[in-house]
Structure formats: C-alpha cells, structure tokens
Amino acid sequence: MGRLNVTLCGIELDNPVIPASGTFGYGHEFAELYDINILGTFSFKGTTRDPRFGNPTPRIAEAESGMLNAVGLQNPGVDAVIAEELPKLGKVFHKPVMANVSGFSVEEYTEVCARLDREDRVGWLEVNVSCPNVHGGGMSFGTDPELAARVTAAVKSVTKKPVIMKLSPNVTDIVSVARACEDAGADALSLINTLMAMRIDLKTRRPILANVTGGLSGPAIFPVALRMVYQVARAVKIPVVGIGGVSSAEQVIEMMLAGAVAVEVGAANLTDPWASEKIIRALPETMDRYGIGELRDIIGGAL
C-alpha cells in the first residue's frame, strides 16, 4: 500500500479523492482531459429509474463563495446507464465506480439499486436521500430518521454491494439521521449534500432560479460540512465520506482529521475540470509539510 491509500467498505483506493456525483458526469467526459484512473474513484451522476429532463431553466445561480444549482436530477434513467454509460466508462476507467442512486419512493430506490447491484463495474451504491418523498407529502427522505432508515433497510435487502447513505444537511440534527441509517444496516455515510438557498434578481425582483430554491455548493459550505462530518464521525462506527466545498489538498486532510475515510470533491470540478487531479498530485507535498507519513493514520485525528 502507498502512503495515499485508504480503504472504503473493504475496497482499497489508491487515494481518498472522489469527484462527487453531479460534478463528473459518467466519467468518460473527463477522460478526454486526463487519465481519470488517477482518482480513488468517482461517484457518477445521480441516476433514477426513469429518464429525467430535469428542472426548467435557469438552473444555475452564482453566489459570493459558491454556486446554486437546481438541475433536478437530469439523467437518462438506469436502463440507459447500464446499457450505454457503463460500457463507455469501462473503456477509460479500470477501477470500481461509485453509483449514485436517487429516487422518489422506497420502491424506486430498491429497483434502481437492485439493477445496479448486478453490474461488475459498480463498487459501491451511494444512495441520495435528499429526494422528496412523493408518497409522503414531498418531505425529503433524509430529513426524517425513520424515513432514511426505511430506505436504507430496503436497499440493503436487494444488494450485496456496500451501501453508502448520502445525507442532507438541511436538518436540525444530522447525527440522529446518521445513527438511524447505521442501525438500519448502512455500510457507510457520505455528507453533506447541498444546502438549500436562493438568489433574487434585483432588476426583475424575482428569484433567479426557475425552481426558486436550489442547492448551495462550493467554498462557502466547507466549514458547515466539516462540522457535520466531525459530529457524525464521533457518533457512528461505520466509515464516513466527507463532502462539501473541498478544493485543495489541505482541505482533504482537514476532512480526514475530522473523521472522513475518503473525501469527495464537488463544485471545484465545475470551475476547474482538472481540480481533482491537481488535489491528488498536491497531496504528497502537503503531507510532507505537515509531517504526515500515511493518510490512513490521520483519519479521525481531531476527534
């Protein structure tokens, strides 16, 4: 094992850097820019049972230290991902990939996970519980510990692959949701997803986003994400993947000190397509600067 290696749910990664879902497509797009096998792995675009066109435009709004998006889970549907995207990915990426799954009912989550469970290229299922529950009045699955646990248990019943529950930060107590997922059988947790936010156009006096609200990502949310990773890592025994505003090797190390086993890079990939590669290449020198021999030794060092 090298000094950057970490293990996530029994699968060894060459390094802890993982481009986050929604910021890296299905991988082959970025493979035109650099060899994406340098990555630990990546989480592909959120995939639903049926194709989704997504929300009306405008879907993107700027913020002082980040961006808002309300893309609306645009994707070709799980059948097209299996038939078209995974074969294309297999030509350029030779490691297990993280499959991000979204759904609007427990049944949809389980159906998509069951289909992806049969795919050899998929190493982990990252289950996004920030979606609105169509049978529960629109409340996000991830805002209610009982609902989050129900999705976790249902998904675990149809797959043998590690299940990583991706948690929403738009809650009063993220630890209670994390513990509920752990108790229901989750193999790991990833957090945080975007923070609900909005912008208003002063000229039109109307919300900029057609959806009115969207998810805030980017540097502005890093301290919030770090705090939540720290709280959850202290409260659970399963691995935690840190996400939120990460854009440097220093911040990867900070997340790992807070308890993250691996770290996802999101909005930074949208402003600089080479961001994840640059972070990986900068890690050894940054580790030397802070007297770190092997990354796996610092996980949870600040707890």
The set of catalytic residues is: 131
* Under 8 Å between Cβ of 286 and 249: yes
For the record, the structure tokens of 197 come out as 């936010």
* Calpha distance 205→96 (Å, rounded): 47
Counting Cα atoms < 13 Å in the Cβ hemisphere of 68 gives 22
Q: Nearest CA to 168 among 206, 205, 187, 196?
A: 196
Per DSSP bridges, beta strands 66-69 and 214-217 are: antiparallel
Is the C-alpha dihedral spanning 190, 154, 117, 107 positive or negative? Answer: negative
Q: Give the CA distances from residue 127 to residues 10, 57, 98, 154, 197, in Å, rounded to whole numbers and listed in that order.
A: 18, 26, 10, 11, 22
CA 70 to chain centre: 16
Q: Nearest CA to 104 among 74, 134, 125?
A: 134
* Calpha distance 237→251 (Å, rounded): 23
Per DSSP bridges, beta strands 195-197 and 214-217 are: antiparallel
Q: Nearest CA to 257 among 229, 220, 223, 235?
A: 229
